[in-house]
A and B are shown apart, each in its own frame.
Chain A
Amino acid sequence: MSFAPFKTLTSQTLVLRTQNIDTDQIIPARFLTTTSREGLGKLAFNDWRYDADGKENNHPLNSDTAKACQILVTGHNFGCGSSREHAPWALMDYGLRAVISSEIADIFHTNSLKNGFLPIVIEASAHEWLLDNPGVDVTIDLETCEVRLPKNGGTYPFKTDPFSRHCLLAGQDELDYLLGQDAAIAKYEARNV
């Protein structure tokens, strides 16, 4: 799948302080019978946002301010649990383009990058500051791999896999790259029947 290139992003932050937010919180399993990837935003954090009768409650995620945010900041170890790619699909359809935390689970991390959703692990002091100051304007610069905090709050580097970064900046699909290796794969197959 190709997607819009990701270069820089400036947005207010949406803060969820909870640690270990698992993918069952991001989108509950009972919604995984879908056969499409569209329209999952209304199900993002479903069980936090709706009452038993399906009405939106007063969870901050339901506010218009939250829905306008493109950068999510969460407690430690975001996205643990199942491998469902529905998690980044739901977050993106909700309106988010990036998540910043002090640790992000492996499979969620991989899935996110493949959809143009940027997972950022940032050093503890900046992470804490972001948790304590919800709603500030933050800039993520993927060209320089930096997060810029407002009001001279400083600039913090983050690491992104160079290949994923290249694909994100170019909006390029990894599948094309893999298909381009057809000859090498065929050679491997011939060696290992």
Chain B
Amino acid sequence: MTNETQKSLFDKVWERHVVSFETHEQPATVFIDLHLIHEVTTPQAFTVLKERGLKVRRPDLTLATIDHSTPTLLNEDGSRPYVNEQAKKQVDLLLANAKTHGITTHGWDSPYRGIVHVMGPELGATQPGMTIVCGDSHTATHGAFGALAFGIGTTQVGHVLASQCILMRKPKSMCVWVDGELSDGVSAKDVILAIIANIGVGGGTGHVIEYRGTCFENMSMSERMTVCNMSIEAGARAGMIAPDVTTVAYFEDKVMAPDDLAQTASDWLSLASDPDCIYDKEVRLDAADIKPMVTYGTHPGMAMPIDGTIPQENEKALTYMNMQAGLAIAGTKVDTVFIGSCTNSRIEDFRVAAKILKGKSVAKSVTAVFVPGSEQVKAEAEGEGLDKIFLQAGAQWREPGCSMCIGMNGDIGRPGDLIVSTSNRNFEGRQGPGVRTVLASPATAAASAVKGVITDARGLS
């Protein structure tokens, strides 16, 4: 629903990109400003291009990296231990396809290589007002900049490669308002888990969410990315936050930032939603009510305050998780702690973890796997000496990639293991067959690594 004169951020970005309008018979044709590609969801799309003799229409608006199937450890001789031949083949194929079509690629030799949703913003490739797609559902991350960014399937990856456009009907709009101050020890991850628990895993289906209110205005870009990243876990294709001074300041040191930043910035700021724009759906939460959150079940909507007791619902999920309704979740034994993924693998996340781990040790029974989101995050963390803090505490500090978020590269847990993970999905088997995932913030993950049980970081001395 659109009020003719009062437009939302989403309306404004959408309207700027319509090549041909939507009618009853056909969807809109929407131009894409940035197409991010990686090894997993592109091979079959490039095959279609080849079969039909098509070329990539705008290699200049396409950016490639390798992140999902890539090993996060190195062999002693510096070679890479791929989980299997097929994974290596997939990575090599992406590099070859990108080369054939003249697409800029941040491969093994690039200082910018990283998880696609960490790399795009860090380069400054992600910019306010853009339309951004990637064959990956967490593309919503880029909405933190006021871009309209969403995940697409492989057929659509092919469409964008060939035409730089996608066919789509305009989704509905939804506003999630969170006003007020967060309590000490409550992070952006806790906010988004609380939102998903509130609206449900299907609560955003068919909608683009705009996050509004002082809670988001007070957040850094890194925190805003954490929030927008998980929009898909509420079923929403995209999540957006209006560009403001924090957004503009982010670009000051980015390699792909516009040359005329000051001038461009005034256009970016004009994208903010008009005061009386109308959304199809609105939800309000009070920031002061949000506590550190963890999941207890097998989808991200099954989240609860860390100081609460496990709710009595969804027997199947509790059976899989080997958790018992009515008991406190804090104190549950932990086998592995994973800090990483496009949700929480930026420098700010590792600073939080380092603060908790400094001078402490990871519990003997726990394997702690820390995986920076990109080469840049890795270099910056090492520049600050965070890697030493982690290694001294007994945690692993690995090469950048998706790693245990999805386990495609072989970084998985053992059946039955409980992993406290800063990633975004706790589906059955997501981190390996039979593995039990508890989603949490970097602070909760680090505190749980120290204690060997699910631990509220606020109580840690």
Contacts and interface: CB of A to CB of B under 8 A. Distances in A.
Q: Do A and B bind each other?
A: yes
Interface of A: 1, 18, 20, 22, 24-25, 28-30, 32-37, 47, 52, 76-77, 80-85, 103, 105-107, 110-111, 114-115, 161-163, 166, 174-175, 177-179, 181-182, 184-185, 188-189, 192
B90 A184 contact: no
A105 B205 contact: yes
B407 A29 contact: yes
Contacts of A106: 171, 205-206, 235, 237
B32 to A, nearest CB: 11
B428 A83 contact: no
B424 to A, nearest CB: 10
Nearest to A162: B25
A81 B205 CA distance: 11
Given A28-B429, A111-B155, A162-B25, A188 B19 contact: yes
24 contacts: A30-B408, A32-B40, A33-B69, A33-B89, A33-B90, A35-B43, A37-B44, A80-B201, A83-B41, A83-B151, A103-B205, A106-B205, A107-B152, A107-B153, A110-B152, A111-B154, A162-B24, A174-B155, A175-B52, A181-B20, A184-B20, A185-B57, A188-B19, A188-B31
Contacts of A32: 40, 68, 408
A62 to B, nearest CB: 17
Given A29-B408, A33-B69, A185-B165, A83 B135 contact: yes
B202 interface: yes
Contact of B90 (A35, A161, A177): A35
Contacts of A105: 202, 205, 235
B428 A24 contact: yes
Contacts of B89: 33, 35
A107 B44 contact: no
A177 B155 CA distance: 14
A181 B163 contact: yes
A166 B23 CA distance: 14
A85 B155 contact: yes
A25 B425 CA distance: 12
Contacts of B14: none
B180 interface: no
B26 interface: yes
Interface string B199-211: 0011001100000
A67 to B, nearest CB: 22
B427 interface: yes
B27 interface: yes
A18 B316 CA distance: 10
A163 B167 CA distance: 10
Contact of A33 (B19, B154, B408, B412): B408
